[in-house]
Amino acid sequence: MTRIIKVSEIARDIKEMKIRGAGNIARQAAKALIITAQQCKSKKPSRLMEELETSAKLLLQTRPTAVSLPNSIRHIMLSAKKALKQKLEFEEFRQIIIDTANDFIQNSAKAILQIGKIGAGRIEDGDRIITHCNSATVNAILKTAFNQDKDFKVVVCETRPRYQGRITARELSQVGIPTTLIVDSAAHFFMRKIDKAIVGADAIVANGALVNKIGTSMLALAAHEARVLFFVAAETYKFSPETMLGQLVKIEERNSSEIIPENELVRMPNITVRNPAFDITPPEHIDLIITEKGIIPPQAAITIIREEFGSIRTDDLLNYKTSSG
């Protein structure tokens, strides 16, 4: 018998980082809304809409920094609201929700492939590239360039405290890309031998600043000091429309146990452990942002946001957002 997946399980797995990566989180949130629609026992569109709102609220509470999460939910929920006003029959209403969510999932996957193609054009023979954390878009760029027979090497920061960089190193080495794994604090040491830095994004704000895994801003600062090109690879649904309204992206702080075991911490009285999961890289430390729609300077982030979200009303923006901080 096929096990029934619950929305609460997806929400828990996102919160506990069993589901991780901004793009994957967005796709899983869309999947959760599909499950909500499929499992609704009522035959009333209004009741299904209530269940979607409940699921959306649960999902939005999981990871406050991943802008892709509210953006995917917003896209589906606004489509559902529009369909609800049309007084459709239940099955037709439900199918619109499922189709909208599936379209988002498919377009999200296509965006990664397109970024891979566009970004690979920036990789040259002989390049020495450094990256941080584990990004599907960055990996797509590097794998595409490698499949084009380009000769380059990659240095990967291990990305404390969850070590996502080890996943990147494994993925790249498995396809044959020469890869070196380093501790995060060694990035400055190796930067003098690097040609380009490429990272992914959890969010890009209206002024072009990047919100990404903790340690990214230090990497960008080291690259800036060494005059190494710093690229960001991000799907357009990772751009934050709320920041046009003055909202701030909340930086998630996770449990201290990710840094130090609880049984060791109790032997260290009067110590506070801070564990921010993300940091902010200013736009002046970013050279280019690679999206599925092309390459832009960070100063053009506001243009992308207006094109993607400009038609959405302010109250609809704020209805489906993560907590501001």
Active site residues: 133, 202
Report residue 125 as tokens. Answer: 């023979």
* Cβ-Cβ contacts under 8 Å for 301 (sequence gap 6 or more): 204, 205, 206, 207, 208, 239, 283, 289
Single out the residue of 111, 123, 9 nearest to residue 55, CA to CA.
Answer: 9
Helix%, strand%, coil% for the chain, nearest 5: 50, 15, 35
Q: Can you tell me the distance from the alpha carbon of 259 to that of 214, in angstroms, rounded to the nearest whole number?
A: 13
Single out the residue of 20, 75, 68, 26 nearest to residue 211, CA to CA.
Answer: 68
* 8 Å CB contact between 66 and 323: no
Three-state SS at 211? strand
Work out the number of other CB atoms within 10 angstroms of the CB of residue 1: 3
Burial string for 4-40 (b: 16+ CB within 10 Å, else e) reads eeebeebbeebeebebbbbbebbbbbbbbbbbbbeeb
- How big is the chain, counted in residues? 325
Q: Can you tell me the distance from the alpha carbon of 31 to that of 15, in angstroms, rounded to the nearest whole number?
A: 16
* Three-class DSSP labels, 229-262: EEEEECCHHHECHHHHHCCCCCCCECCHHHCCCH
> Which residues sit opposite 287 in a β-bridge?
none
